[in-house]
Amino acid sequence: MKIGFIGLGNMGAPMAANLVKAGHQVTGFDTAGVTVDGVVTADTAEAAASGQDVVITMLPNGAILRAVAAQVIPAMDKGAVLLDCSTVDVDSARAVADQATSAGCSALDAPVSGGVGGATNGTLTFMVGGPEAAFETARPLFDIMGQKAVHCGDAGAGQSAKICNNMILGVTMIATCEAFALADKLGLDRQKMFDVVSTSSGYSWTMNAYCPAPGVGPTTPADNGYKPGFAAELMLKDLGLSQQAAEAVDADTPMGAAALALYRQFVEDEDGRGMDFSAMLPRFEKRGRG
């Protein structure tokens, strides 16, 4: 398959590299001039998109996605698929899909879960919105870059699934960190706390798979000085997208709103920028009720 890949950052570069290793012809473009072994470098985004079967984008936000789509969709062959793996707002995903359809192409919004490690190891999970036929076209690529792809529905459904998932993730991480900080002050050993909660009704991914307490449970960023992992500022972005979507559809999400406020304070006013999102635990350790 001939593939264009636009956005060769921390996530895009290893994803493109895995496609090359699987035997696909990949032409890439990145505004920072990043190159990837085996990926043919294009001078422009339009050149990377021209003549390809699938054009993959991995970009920072919805505004940039809209700008790139306006450039590349006119350069794409009719019948080609624009596969956007960025995490953006639902409205941007739907607007780009409408633009692609009008040009005789198809678009999929396919944000990912799994971070840089998942991108490198080819174990990402894709949450996909868009036409079934386009999903089937892209399925072999999902199988290379990830371990699972779920077709969630029409345009925007992939982004909807991602922001709902990450709203749960942000809220449960805060609750997990609060509970460890409370356990400390109650004199409860952290390992004993983990042994109980991880096999009881407090079980969660943030406790069992990504424990924020160093030396407890499996190895996580907490055991590496809270180097990300999944950076707190990325969680802040995703929680912001969840609340933007909630406002648009008049959904009551008080826990999501509270998590957004806490991560905004942590990233913007405290020392959270550049730390893993589980570094909320040392934050709570240092705080009292006041």
What per-residue string of b and e applies to 157-175 under the rule 16 or more CB within 10 Å gives b? bbbbbbbbbbbbbbbbbbb
What count of other Cβ atoms lies within 10 Å of the Cβ of residue 249? 8
Distance in angstroms (rounded) separating the CA atoms of residues 287 and 185: 11
d(CA 52, CA 79) in angstroms, rounded, equals: 10
Q: Which of 2, 78, 148, 162 is catalytic?
A: 162
SS3 annotation, 171-183: HHHHHHHHHHHHH
**Sign of the Cα pseudo-torsion (159, 31, 122, 207, in order):** negative
Residue 119: CB atoms within 10 Å: 25
**Whole-angstrom Cα distance, residue 115 to residue 93?**
20
Cβ–Cβ < 8 Å for 111, 85 = yes
Active site residue 162: yes
DSSP state of 231: B
Catalytic site positions: 162
